[in-house]
Chains A and B, each alone.
Chain A
Amino acid sequence: MKTIVEGKHSKVVISSETPTVIIGERINPTGKKKLTAALKEKDFDFIIQEAVRQVEAGAHIIDVNVGASGIVEEELLPEVVKRIADAVDVPICIDSSKPVALEAALKVCPGRPLLNSTTGEEKNLETVLPLAKQYNVPVIALANDERGIPKDTETRVAIARKILDRAVHLGIAPEDILIDVLVLPIGADTETGKVTFDTARRVSEELGLRPEVGASNVSHGLPDRKLINTAFFALGAACGMTAYIADPTVVEITQTILAADLLLGKDEWAAEYISFYRKKEALKGSGK
């Protein structure tokens, strides 16, 4: 089973057999003062530059989130989405917790963007899933509900199953559902990594859905964070993770994902791995 995401002229396949997809996370104001300011001032050059940098660094899809206090998302999100879709030819991941903003962006986004996201919360299922159906786009579903983020695998899988049932009931193809299996800071609970990996395995094997995760928080509060992040990406790939919401401009992240794909038989003749190496060396040579 595979999920197809499309840009204006580009196509990305998310499946357990194909290389791990990197969804560039940098266009999101949470914790980023400069980007927040750029969004408020409508400094689109700065924002487009962030998109271009990520694509050059290896992002397959660009996540776009403009949610911050003082920003009217339903106005700004479509504008930013449209400009980025014009500037880079990779698919867009439209990211908002507001259904009206998601819909406004869906109306102007070319291709077949990825919708980010619904959760198992009733209010989201009722508003976001119908959008995925109406616009015929794939959707990311977070494995949490009104009770918060479950500490255990069983509850996360149960929520994923509930979302799948609801989506299928609405006529959405299972191919178009990605499950965000969620990861919490490992420093606050050392069991939580295992729960994430077990959930990924079960979502993939039992539900036949594609697990995905955003990972920048896993190493919070610990030293040598990059080491933990990269180990997380490699282990996740081995547990069936098909996509990451991550920062590809951190070169070790992209390298680790490429190496993991190679070791898992997802990169025939190491073509992707070697091509990334050459690109990196060439940049070094050009003094960039």
Chain B
Amino acid sequence: MDIMKQIEENIIAGKFKETEGLVKTALEQGKSPNEIITDALSKGIDEVGRRFKCDEYFLPEVMTCARAMSTALATLKPHFTTEKKTTIGTFLIGTVEGDLHDIGKNIVSMMMEASGFTVYDLGIDVKPEVFIREIREKSPDLVGISALLTMTMPAQRDTIKAIEAAGLRDKVKILVGGAPIDQRWADEIGADGYAEDAVECVEKSKVLLGLGR
């Protein structure tokens, strides 16, 4: 089988232990890192997303696929002449102040990274001023704000308001998510998008950045 097809299928199968070897083989065969990303890795992770969306794949499988993807990207990294080429956008994410939940956020981070975004994860219990400081420092394209409790949902609104007050609102696209969150809430608080899960977060991020799909 063609090495590119093999890599694509390796990502879909989530066999992350074999990913590095396959990617190295492709490089040895003269494939460029960009080719490997476009013709193998992206195809693979898109298929994983599709399967997850229609309940063919389940969370643990998506996690292993994302891990295979991260392994592939890490293997490719030293082969890029400029770092810029490895990223399709930058994404800053954190769980709001007062909320200590991080699993959903971590899965989103993983999938975003696996899909080619550069991710800055601020962790849990992130105060609005920390979001602002990091937006100034990292100039991300996208900001993800996570809240897992009905009690901490208002902190998403507060964070967005603070970003506005700091004059940074038009510099970033904002996505919100978390168990109690829905599109209506996202509209109400002036977010640019809502994602139900990590796969949707990748899709919406691409749309917001005009990257197709």
On whether the beta carbons of B58 and A31 are closer than 8 Å, the reply is no
On whether the beta carbons of A67 and B151 are closer than 8 Å, the reply is yes
> When the two chains form the complex, which single residue of A30, A146, A149, A185 contacts B150, counting CB atoms closer than 8 Å?
A30
On whether the beta carbons of B179 and A222 are closer than 8 Å, the reply is no
Q: Interface 1/0s, chain A 211-233, versus B by CB < 8 A?
A: 00000000011110000000000
A148 beta carbon closer than 8 Å to chain B? yes
Beyond A30-B180, A184-B103, is A221–B58 a contact (Cβ under 8 Å)? yes
With both chains docked as a complex, state the minimum distance between the C-beta of A96 and any C-beta of chain B, in angstroms.
8
> When the two chains form the complex, which single residue of A30, A67, A149, A185 contacts B59, counting CB atoms closer than 8 Å?
A185
With both chains docked as a complex, state the minimum distance between the C-beta of A230 and any C-beta of chain B, in angstroms.
18
Beyond A30-B150, A69-B153, is A149–B58 a contact (Cβ under 8 Å)? no
On whether the beta carbons of A68 and B59 are closer than 8 Å, the reply is no
Contacts of A31 in B (CB 8 A): 179-180
> When the two chains form the complex, which single residue of B55, B62, B63, B125 contacts A223, counting CB atoms closer than 8 Å?
B55
Q: Interface 1/0s, chain A 52-88, versus B by CB < 8 A?
A: 0000000000000001110000000000000000000
Which single residue of chain B is at the shortest CB-CB distance from A73?
Answer: B151
Contacts of A30 in B (CB 8 A): 149-150, 179-180
Contacts of B62 in A (CB 8 A): 221
How many chain A residues touch B (CB < 8 A): the figure is 23
Contacts of B103 in A (CB 8 A): 184-185, 188-189
Contacts of A149 in B (CB 8 A): 100-102
A97 beta carbon closer than 8 Å to chain B? yes
B88 beta carbon closer than 8 Å to chain A? no
On whether the beta carbons of B149 and A222 are closer than 8 Å, the reply is no
A254 beta carbon closer than 8 Å to chain B? no
B residues 31-51 in Cβ contact with A at 8 Å: none
B107 beta carbon closer than 8 Å to chain A? yes
A residues 213-259 in Cβ contact with B at 8 Å: 220-223
In the complex, A189→B149 CA distance in Å? Answer: 21
Contacts of B154 in A (CB 8 A): 69
Q: Interface 1/0s, chain B 122-146, versus A by CB < 8 A?
A: 0011000000000000000000000
On whether the beta carbons of B58 and A187 are closer than 8 Å, the reply is yes
On whether the beta carbons of B125 and A146 are closer than 8 Å, the reply is yes
On whether the beta carbons of A148 and B60 are closer than 8 Å, the reply is no
Contacts of B124 in A (CB 8 A): 148
Contacts of A221 in B (CB 8 A): 58-60, 62
> When the two chains form the complex, which single residue of B63, B125, B180 contacts A188, counting CB atoms closer than 8 Å?
B63
Q: Interface 1/0s, chain B 72-94, versus A by CB < 8 A?
A: 00000000000000000000000
On whether the beta carbons of A187 and B59 are closer than 8 Å, the reply is yes
B residues 110-130 in Cβ contact with A at 8 Å: 124-125
In the complex, A201→B154 CA distance in Å? Answer: 37
Contacts of A97 in B (CB 8 A): 149, 151
A204 beta carbon closer than 8 Å to chain B? no
In the complex, A149→B63 CA distance in Å? Answer: 20
With both chains docked as a complex, state the minimum distance between the C-beta of B65 and any C-beta of chain A, in angstroms.
13
Contacts of B153 in A (CB 8 A): 68-69
A130 beta carbon closer than 8 Å to chain B? no
With both chains docked as a complex, state the minimum distance between the C-beta of B19 and any C-beta of chain A, in angstroms.
20
A29 beta carbon closer than 8 Å to chain B? yes
Q: Interface 1/0s, chain B 143-177, versus A by CB < 8 A?
A: 00000011101100000000000000000000000
A199 beta carbon closer than 8 Å to chain B? no
With both chains docked as a complex, state the minimum distance between the C-beta of B156 and any C-beta of chain A, in angstroms.
10
With both chains docked as a complex, state the minimum distance between the C-beta of A286 and any C-beta of chain B, in angstroms.
36
On whether the beta carbons of A190 and B60 are closer than 8 Å, the reply is yes
Contacts of A117 in B (CB 8 A): none
In the complex, A223→B103 CA distance in Å? Answer: 19
Contacts of A190 in B (CB 8 A): 60
On whether the beta carbons of B150 and A29 are closer than 8 Å, the reply is yes
In the complex, A189→B100 CA distance in Å? Answer: 17
Which single residue of chain A is at the shortest CB-CB distance from B152?
Answer: A97
Contacts of B101 in A (CB 8 A): 148-149
Contacts of A16 in B (CB 8 A): none
Which single residue of chain B is at the shortest CB-CB distance from A223?
Answer: B58
Contacts of B180 in A (CB 8 A): 30-31, 68
A-B contact pairs, 10 of them (CB 8 A): A30-B180, A31-B179, A97-B151, A98-B151, A144-B100, A148-B102, A187-B58, A188-B59, A188-B60, A188-B107
Sample of 9 further A-B pairs with CB below 8 A, known A68-B180, A149-B100, A187-B59: A31-B179, A31-B180, A67-B149, A68-B150, A187-B58, A221-B58, A222-B58, A222-B60, A223-B55
Residues of chain B whose beta carbon lies under 8 Å from any beta carbon of chain A: 55, 58-60, 62-63, 100-103, 106-107, 124-125, 149-151, 153-154, 179-180
